[in-house]
Structure 1
C-alpha cells in the first residue's frame, strides 16, 4: 500500500509528542513493507527534494518552516500527482488538513486525520473547520476523542488507536533491581510527583523502596520535597534512562504510579504494566491514564494522596510479575494492523478495493 503522510513539521524540526507519534506510525507501516511517503517542510541539507531515512521517503513540499504558505498551496497538487492509496494528515497546523483534503479529492483517495492532542485541542475556526474534512479521525485516547467531539467532530468518525509498545523487547530485557514503587516522566511543572511523595510519606513506617525515572527543571524541587518529608533515603532519583534501562526497571518494580496532571496517552505506564507492574493512576481531568486501568484487576484509580497510599498498600497483596500478556493488543504489530484495517475499510467505502 502506498501511504502519503502529511505533516508540515517533523520530529527532525521539533521533537514533540505529536511529531513522535506521527513518526512511529510511519515506522510501523514501513516495517510491514508498505510504501511510506512523508510530505513536509524540508529539513535536510542539499537541494534534493526527497530524502530517504529508515524506510520512509520524505518529500520537501516547501524549503523550510518559513515557507508555510508555499507548502499549503503546493500540497494538493503534489498529493494528487503522488496517487497514494490513503492520505494520512496530522492536525497541526489545521490549515494543512484543508490542503490535504483538496489533495485527497483530486487523488480520489480517503483522508485520515491524526489528532494526538498534545497541548490540548484548541477551539478555533480553523480547528472546527478541520474536523469536517477527513473520512476518519484517529486519537490516542478517549480523552482526546472527547476534546475533538467537543469542537464539532462527528463522533462516528472518531476512532481510538493507542501508542504502541514492543512486547518481544520487554520479554528480552532482564529484570532490574526490585523496588516497590516506580514513577517515570519528565520532571517539569506537570509531573505532579508531589502526590506520590506525599502518599509515600504517609507510609514511612512501612518497609518500601521507590525509584523516580526522569529529569527536568523541577527535579531539585522534588528532591528537596523528599528530603523535607524525611523519605529521601528510600527514594532514588535515577535521572533519564534509555528505553531498555527503563524496561529493566519496570520488570523489577512492583507498582507503577502515574500522577501527572496532563497526559494524552500514558506510554510509560503502558510499558510498565506490560512489564508486570501493578498500575496506579491518579485521576486528573486532562489525563487519560485511568483509561488503562479501568476494569483491570491489577489496576487502581485514585483521587487523593490518601487513596494513593491505600492503593500502594493493597497492591502489595498482588503477585509480582515481570510480564503481562494482557497488553499484547498494544504491541507494534497489533497497532499497525489497526491502521491497515482502517485504511482498507475506507478504501472499500470509496470503492477502491
Structure 2
C-alpha cells in the first residue's frame, strides 16, 4: 500500500510530541513493508526534491517552514501526482488539512488526519473547517477525541488510537534495583510532582524509597521541596534516562505514580504498567492518564492528596511484578494493525478493494 503522510513540520525540523507521534505512525507503516512517503518542507541540504532515509521517501514540497503559503498551494498537485492509496495528514496547521483534503479528492484516496493535541486545539474557523474534511480523525485518547468533537468533528469519524510500546523490548531488559514508587516526566510547570511528594511525606514513617525520572526547569524547586519535607534522603532524582534505563527502572519499581496536570497520552505510564507497576493516577481535567487505569485491577484513580496517600498505602498489598502481558493491545504490531484496518475499511467504503 502506498501511504502519503503530510506534515509541513516533522521531527527532523523540531522535536515535539506531535511530531514524534507522527513519526511513530510513519515508522509503523514502513516496518510493515508499505511504500511510505512523507510530504513536508525540505529539511535536508541541496536542491534534491526528495530524500530516501530509513526506508522512507521524503518529498520537499517547499524549501522552508517560512514558505508555508507555497507549501499549501503546491501540496494538492504534488500529492495527486504521487497517486497514493491513502493520504494521512497531521492536523497542525489546519491549512494543510484543507490542502491535503483537496489532494485526496483529486486522487480519490481515503483521507485520515492525526490529531494529537499536545499544544491544545484552537477554537477558530480554520480548525472548525479542518474537522469536517477527513474520512477519519485519529486521536491518542478519548480526551483529545472530546476536544476534536467540541470543535465540530462528527463523532462517528473520531477514533482513539494510543501511542504504541514495544513489549518484546520491555521483556528483554533486566529489572533495575527495587524501589517502591517511581515518577517519570519532564519537570516543568505542568508536572505537579508536589502532589506525590506531599503524599509520600505523609508516609514518612514507612520504609519506602522513590525515584523521579526526568529533568526540566522545575527540578531544583522539587528537590528543595523534598528537602523541606525531610524526605530527600529517600528520593533519587535520576534526571533524563535512556529508554532502556527507564524500562529497567520501571521493571524494578512497585508503583508508577502519574500526577501531571496535562497529558494527552501518558506513554511512560503505559510502559510502567506493562513493566508490572501498580498504576496510581491523580485525575486532572486535561489529562487522559486515568483512561489507562479505569477498570484495571492494579490501578487507582485519585482526586486528592489524601486519596493519593491511601492509594500508595493500598498498593503495597499487591504483589510486585516485572511484566504485565495484559497490555498486548498496545504493542507496536497491534497498533500498526489498527491503522491498516482503518485504511482498508475506508478503501472498502469507497469500493477501492
The SS at the match of 1:87 is strand
The SS at the match of 1:233 is helix
The SS at the match of 1:182 is strand
Find the counterpart in structure 1 of residue 147 from structure 2. 147
Residue 173 in 1 paired to residue 183 in 2? Answer: no
Structure 1 segment 1-353 matched on structure 2, within 5 A: 1-353=1-353
| Whole-angstrom distance in 2 between the partners of 1:338 and 1:295 | 22
Following superposition, the deviation at residue 334 of structure 1 comes to 0.2
| Whole-angstrom distance in 2 between the partners of 1:148 and 1:53 | 33
Could you list the per-position Cα deviations for residues 183-238 of structure 1 after superposition, in whole angstroms to 9, with x for gaps in the alignment? Answer: 00000001000000000000001110000000000000000000000000001000
| Whole-angstrom distance in 1 between the partners of 2:209 and 2:239 | 16
Following superposition, the deviation at residue 110 of structure 1 comes to 0.6
Following superposition, the deviation at residue 54 of structure 1 comes to 1.5
Following superposition, the deviation at residue 53 of structure 1 comes to 1.5
Structure 2 unaligned regions, length at least 5 = none
| Whole-angstrom distance in 2 between the partners of 1:121 and 1:72 | 20
The SS at the match of 1:11 is coil
Following superposition, the deviation at residue 109 of structure 1 comes to 0.5
| Whole-angstrom distance in 2 between the partners of 1:110 and 1:270 | 31
| Whole-angstrom distance in 2 between the partners of 1:214 and 1:131 | 35
Following superposition, the deviation at residue 56 of structure 1 comes to 1.2
| Whole-angstrom distance in 2 between the partners of 1:350 and 1:72 | 26
Following superposition, the deviation at residue 2 of structure 1 comes to 0.3
Q: How well do the aligned residues superpose, as a CA RMSD in angstroms?
A: 0.5
Paired residues, what number? 353
User: Which 4+ stretches in 1 moved above 4 angstroms?
Assistant: none
Structure 1 unaligned regions, length at least 5 = none
Could you list the per-position Cα deviations for residues 226-280 of structure 1 after superposition, in whole angstroms to 9, with x for gaps in the alignment? Answer: 0000000001000000000000000000000000000000000000100000000
| Whole-angstrom distance in 2 between the partners of 1:233 and 1:74 | 59
Could you list the per-position Cα deviations for residues 127-172 of structure 1 after superposition, in whole angstroms to 9, with x for gaps in the alignment? Answer: 0000000000000000000000001100000001000000000000
Could you list the per-position Cα deviations for residues 312-341 of structure 1 after superposition, in whole angstroms to 9, with x for gaps in the alignment? Answer: 010000010000011010000000000000
Following superposition, the deviation at residue 120 of structure 1 comes to 1.1
| Whole-angstrom distance in 1 between the partners of 2:174 and 2:55 | 30
The SS at the match of 1:153 is coil
Following superposition, the deviation at residue 284 of structure 1 comes to 0.2
The SS at the match of 2:232 is coil
Could you list the per-position Cα deviations for residues 95-126 of structure 1 after superposition, in whole angstroms to 9, with x for gaps in the alignment? Answer: 00000000000000010010001111111100
The SS at the match of 2:93 is coil
